[in-house]
Structure 1
């Protein structure tokens, strides 16, 4: 936010919003000085607001004195009608997949340049999974993320591939042309896979959840549905079939 929030007449609410809006995908953790600069507020004012926001669990403070969005704000954000509706519709289908596969199941959407996990049911196998409901991970390193990136607007996809990509493991695909070919295959084949790309010892397979647009009838990707398992070598076909059936069911149930 700019300008006027630092004036004496600015309301407390506008100043609180200025602090919260200082966070974005490129500024996930901020110190007091950076927060004051980005919110255009005096440092003493920001200090006072931060104490109350941390006490109310809207923000968290780490050992290095940096602040981040707290879980309570995530909980409030999840009350937004679109995400609540999607979760409610998808919930029984996620439970069915989980019961049938005993694997970790994910429901995710794209949030800018990251994949945002709306829901996760943990599997019984000892697979290293770093996601949780509310967490954000790189689009190019996860199965659900690759599905969402493959179906993102072409301009966003080009900008994403032109940027320096994070490499969580040595197996993460970060070469732009190789990744571009993989994303084209995702659109063509209808699913994405990863092998040890987000964490070692974890493979994933994911599919899009399609919802028909009301205007022209062209399906739009509302979300992605994925499974994380130790290996895809033996049960890829079965897992993919389970995901596709669930994704179609969710898609048909969305308004």
Structure 2
């Protein structure tokens, strides 16, 4: 990390803090980002002064500040990812004849920011603005599979972090790691009936120039109503195209 620019370190700290369900102590930041304690302290102090981080002195913990919220609000107003993804997502729906959506990671949930519904397909629970547990969704698994192991561990510190919808899906970090290993091996994520019984999904991650997953492109269809391999190829191709638009590989 010695040669990593300070701006990159600050962004990694901010990304880590934004993914946490609550403020965390300094040691969690140093372990997750991989920088010395003294460097992390000085970096966090500067970020506190700029309003991007808040320091809870009584608890000796750090969390996301108001300035970071303002940046997020600017993103919501401009919606650049949605604007870039709308046409490719519509083309994906035309190609596979199934509904597709775009989701981003928000804590331990995925937040659906764009949906294209295919004519005659069943209604989904993935309307824009809906949140679902990331570990149960294909889009969430696609994103989680590209995160550092330490960040995944921070998101799921114990069994209480695993929400259960229908009695299926990983309920421990060990089980989730198996799912994410399969996701990386396949090159895409899958889920079958874990979000909605009778419906299955495949998804691929959209990566930025740092190979960080910024979103998941998913296709959802009645189980057995589509060739999973063909749909996965189309979803992966769409995600790769969006990654290139964002400067990713």
Segments of 5+ residues of structure 2 without an aligned counterpart are 1-19, 23-71
- 1:187 matched residue in structure 2: 184
Q: Secondary structure at the match of 1:91?
A: helix
Change in CA separation of 1:83 and 1:200 when aligned onto 2, cut-off 3 Å: farther
Question: RMSD value over aligned CA atoms?
Answer: 2.7
Segments of 5+ residues of structure 1 without an aligned counterpart are 1-24, 28-76, 214-218
Counterpart contact for 1:104–1:227, Cα < 8 Å: yes
Q: How many residues align?
A: 179
Q: CA deviation at 1:220?
A: 2.2
Change in CA separation of 1:119 and 1:91 when aligned onto 2, cut-off 3 Å: same
Picking from 69, 76, 93, the partner of 1:98 is: 93
Give the alignment of 1:153-232 within 5 angstroms: 153-159=148-154, 160=156, 162-164=158-160, 165-213=162-210, 219-231=211-223
Q: Secondary structure at the match of 1:237?
A: helix
Deviations along 1:89-125, whole A, 9 cap, x unmatched? 1111001011122211011111111111110112335
State the alpha-carbon separation in 2 of the partners of residues 171 and 144 from structure 1: 17
Deviations along 1:49-104, whole A, 9 cap, x unmatched? xxxxxxxxxxxxxxxxxxxxxxxxxxxx6751797111111111001011122211
Moved over 3 A (4+): 124-128
Which has the higher Rg, Structure 1 or Structure 2?
1
- 1:133 matched residue in structure 2: 128
Change in CA separation of 1:170 and 1:163 when aligned onto 2, cut-off 3 Å: closer
Q: CA deviation at 1:233?
A: 7.1
Picking from 234, 242, 248, the partner of 1:250 is: 242
What is the TM-score of this pair, normalised by structure 1?
A: 0.62
State the alpha-carbon separation in 2 of the partners of residues 170 and 128 from structure 1: 22
Change in CA separation of 1:105 and 1:79 when aligned onto 2, cut-off 3 Å: farther
Change in CA separation of 1:101 and 1:135 when aligned onto 2, cut-off 3 Å: same
Q: Secondary structure at the match of 1:98?
A: helix
- 2:35 matched residue in structure 1: none
What is the TM-score of this pair, normalised by structure 2?
A: 0.64
Change in CA separation of 1:187 and 1:247 when aligned onto 2, cut-off 3 Å: same
Q: Secondary structure at the match of 2:212?
A: strand
State the alpha-carbon separation in 1 of the partners of residues 157 and 119 from structure 2: 35
